[in-house]
């Protein structure tokens, strides 16, 4: 698939950078952009050469400022539901990617943009970033997972405050309430994200993938099912070559050389 609204670049370390590139529209998510993101996320899942994913927006004003309002304004109820289900499936694909993912938020992350960022494992923001779910100001509700992911990240009360007032918060407040993991200057944003990714990639790949999945299972099914999955994952990792290498390297006081086996 050729891309018109996003860019996908992979470096020599297997870190893929996806840039939503519609700066004239503040990188708003229209149908074509969502289709391209779906293709990029599928490639990231299926291509073993892609070891991690960073998502950002083109320009310095916006990560993604939301959905394309011109498209939303003419949707029927049936079309709107189908659009939401499709968007949820695309972002869920990102959320369940068994590889480290980071949102490099370089400006407005509103509506669908915040939903995209929340689907990543972590969020790193510049000081000028703004976050919010302003859909109620348009007479609609979030459709790509905002009502579900926001309370899981910041708690019920804070999430409801943002969801039903449609207000926005800055990077400092987003960091304070746990919506953002780190705040860094714009010129350091992508290097910081790559540095974080390298820290994750230095560990056992199978352990990282199972840790990500265990968190997802526990949040979805509750602590009892989560604990059962954790025990099973612990057993699986104990049978890997990486466990043998990791424990041996620790005892020998050297850096582990994981093979993902």
* 24 a catalytic residue: no
Check residue 243 and give its pLDDT: 84
Alpha-helical (H) ranges within the chain are 31-46, 69-72, 77-95, 112-118, 146-154, 156-165, 171-176, 189-201, 205-221, 223-238, 241-251
Check residue 232 and give its pLDDT: 94
3-state SS class at 108: strand
CA-angle at 116, arms to 75 and 61, nearest 5°: 95
Check residue 72 and give its pLDDT: 83
Q: How far apart are CA 119 and CA 101, in angstroms?
A: 9
List 60, 115, 188, 252, catalytic entry:
115
Q: How far apart are CA 79 and CA 85, in angstroms?
A: 10
Check residue 3 and give its pLDDT: 96
pLDDT in tens, the chain (261 residues): 889 999 999 999 999 999 999 999 999 999 999 999 999 999 999 999 999 999 999 998 999 998 888 888 888 999 999 999 999 999 999 999 999 999 999 999 999 999 999 999 999 999 999 999 999 999 999 999 999 999 999 999 999 999 999 999 999 999 999 999 999 999 999 999 999 999 999 999 999 999 999 999 999 888 999 999 999 998 989 898 888 878 887 888 888 888 888
Domain ranges of the chain: 6-201, 205-251
* 115 a catalytic residue: yes
Q: How far apart are the two ends of the chain, measured CA to CA in Å?
A: 31
**Pick from 88, 189, 92, 172: which is nearest to 130 by CA?**
172
List 36, 95, 135, 230, catalytic entry:
135
Contacts of 18 (CB under 8 A, 6+ apart): 6, 7, 8, 37, 40, 53, 54, 55, 56
Q: Which CATH architecture has domain 205-251?
A: Orthogonal Bundle (1.10)
Q: Which CATH architecture has domain 6-201?
A: Alpha-Beta Complex (3.90)
């Amino acid at each position: 698939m050729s891309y018109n609204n996003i860019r996908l670049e992979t470096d020599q370390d297997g870190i893929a950078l996806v840039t939503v590139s519609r700066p004239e529209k503040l990188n708003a998510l229209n149908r074509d952009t969502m289709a391209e993101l779906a293709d990029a996320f599928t490639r990231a899942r299926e291509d073993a050469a892609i070891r991690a994913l960073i998502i950002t927006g083109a320009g310095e004003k916006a990560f993604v400022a939301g959905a394309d309002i011109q498209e939303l304004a003419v949707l029927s109820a049936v079309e709107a539901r189908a659009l939401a289900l499709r968007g949820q499936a695309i972002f869920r694909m990102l959320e369940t990617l068994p590889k480290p993912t980071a949102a490099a938020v370089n400006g407005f992350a509103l509506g669908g943009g915040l939903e995209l960022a929340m689907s990543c494992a972590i969020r790193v923001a510049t000081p000028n970033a703004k976050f919010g779910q302003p859909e109620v100001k348009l007479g609609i509700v979030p459709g790509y997972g905002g009502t579900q992911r926001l309370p899981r990240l910041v708690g019920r009360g804070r999430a409801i405050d943002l969801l039903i007032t449609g207000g926005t918060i800055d990077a400092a407040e987003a960091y304070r309430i746990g919506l953002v993991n780190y705040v860094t200057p714009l010129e350091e944003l992508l290097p910081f994200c790559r540095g974080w990714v390298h820290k994750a990639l230095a560990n056992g790949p199978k352990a990282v993938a199972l840790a990500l999945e265990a968190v997802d299972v526990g949040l979805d099914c509750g602590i009892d099912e989560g604990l059962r999955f954790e025990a099973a994952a612990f057993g699986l990792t104990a049978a890997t070559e990486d466990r043998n290498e990791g424990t041996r390297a620790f005892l020998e006081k050297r850096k582990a050389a994981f093979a993902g086996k």
